[in-house]
Homo-oligomer: A and B are copies of this chain.
Amino acid sequence: METRNFQELVANSWQNGLYGCLGLDPDVSKIPACVKGSGVIGRIYQFLTDIIDESKDVVGFFKPNLAFFERYGSTGIQTLKELICRINIVAPGKPIILDAKKNEIGNSNLGYVDFVFNYLGVDAVTVNPYLGLLALKPFFQKKEKGIIVLCRTSNEESDEFQGQRVELTKRLKEEITIYSPSAQSFLGEFDETIPLYLVVAHRAHVYNKTFHNVGLVTGATYPEDLKPIRQIAGSMPFLLPGIGAQSKTGDLEADLRAVLENGFYQPEGNVIINVARAALYRSQNDDYAVKCMEYIVRLNSIINAWRASV
C-alpha cells in the first residue's frame, strides 16, 4: 500500500474478522488510580498508551473523540496528535477515525480538513449533515479518507430532528429507488412521509456514488432502524456507536445480534462496532489494559460466530 487508503484499511480489518472499534474517550475520573503520569494529561496519555499497546492486534479500528482532548486546550490537542502517532507506530494497519462531528460552510471547511487529515493525520472523520452535504465538499474531496456522516445517532434524543417525518415527494421516491433499487420494497410502507435520517442516508449514498469514501453513523441503540438505512445505503460502511455503556438490555450478545441481523452487509459486514467506556474502564486494577483487550476479543468472537451461523 503506497498511500494509506481508508477503504482498503477497513476492508482489511473486516477480512481478518476484526469488527471492534475502540473508542478513545479518556475520562480522568474513571482511570484506575494505579495509572501513573505527570498530571492529568500525563495519566491520560499513559492509560491510553497501555490500552492501545495491549489491544492493537485485536482491535479493527480506533476512534478518538475530539471532545475528550480539546477539553484540555492546546495541550490536549498535542496529546491527541501524539497518541495518533503512537497508533501509527504500533498498529500501522489499523485505521483511525476521529469523532469530531465537524461541519462548516464552503472553504471554511478547509481549516478542519487541514487539522484532521494533515495536522492529526487520521484516516477518517465524522461530519454533521445539517448544513447540507454539498457544503462539506472539501471533506468528500479527500478521496483516500473516510467521511462518515451522522445519520441516525445512538442518543435517546436523536428523534427530535432526525425522526421528523419528511414529505416523501414523488421525485424523492423515484430518486431513492433509482439509486437504491432494494429500497423499493419498504418505501411502500412509508405512505407519504419518511424520517429525516433516511433522507440523509439517501443523500450520503448519492455522494458516495461520486466520491466512494462516504460512511454513516448509525446508532446500535436503534437496531430496527438499521434495516431501511442499509437498504438505502448499500455497501457503505456503518459506524455503530451505542454498544456497551449505552445498551438498554445489558446483554452484549443480544445487542450485537440485533445490529447484525439488520445492518450486516454480506459477505464481510461493512460494520464498525464502537465500544468506549464499556471496554476502557472494565477494571480499576493494573489489569485494565488486558480486561479491555479481552472485551474486544469477546465482541469480535460473538460477531464471527454469528457470521459463521448465517
Asked if A108 and B65 make an inter-chain contact with CB atoms under 8 angstroms apart, the answer reads yes
Which of B76, B78, B154, B166 is within 8 Å of A105, CB to CB? B154
Q: Which of A195-213 contact B (CB under 8 A)?
A: 196, 199-200, 203
In the bound complex, CA of A67 to CA of B160 (Å): 27
Q: Is A71's beta carbon under 8 Å from chain B?
A: yes
Contact indicator B131/A150 (Cβ below 8 Å): yes
CB-defined contacts of A92 to chain B, threshold 8 Å: none
A121 CB to closest chain B CB (Å) equals 11
Chain B residues, CB < 8 A from A156: 134
Which of B68, B75, B159, B193 touches A108 (beta carbons < 8 Å)? B68
| Main secondary structure on A side of the interface with B | helix
Contact of A77 among B77, B108, B160 (CB under 8 A): B77
**Are B155 and A135 in contact, with the CB atoms below 8 A?**
yes
Contact in complex: A129, B81 (CB < 8 Å): no
The reply to whether A111 and B161 form a contact with Cβ atoms under 8 Å apart is no
Contact A73 to B68, CB < 8 A, known contacts A164-B199, A166-B164: no
Q: Which residues A67-90 have CB closer than 8 A to chain B?
A: 67-78, 81
CA–CA, A102 to B154, complex, Å? Answer: 17
Taking the complex as formed, is A109 at the interface, i.e. its CB lies under 8 A from any CB of chain B? Answer: yes
A182 on the B face (CB < 8 A)? no
Stretch of A3-11, A51-59, A112-120 that contacts chain B: A112-120
- With contacts A130-B128, A130-B150 known, is A77 near B73, CB below 8 A? yes
Shortest 4 CB-CB contacts between residues of A and residues of B: A67-B111, A132-B157, A132-B160, A71-B111
Using CB atoms and an 8 Å cutoff, list the residues of chain A in contact with chain B. 25, 65-78, 81, 101-106, 108-112, 114-115, 119-120, 128-135, 150, 153-162, 164-167, 193, 196, 199-200, 203
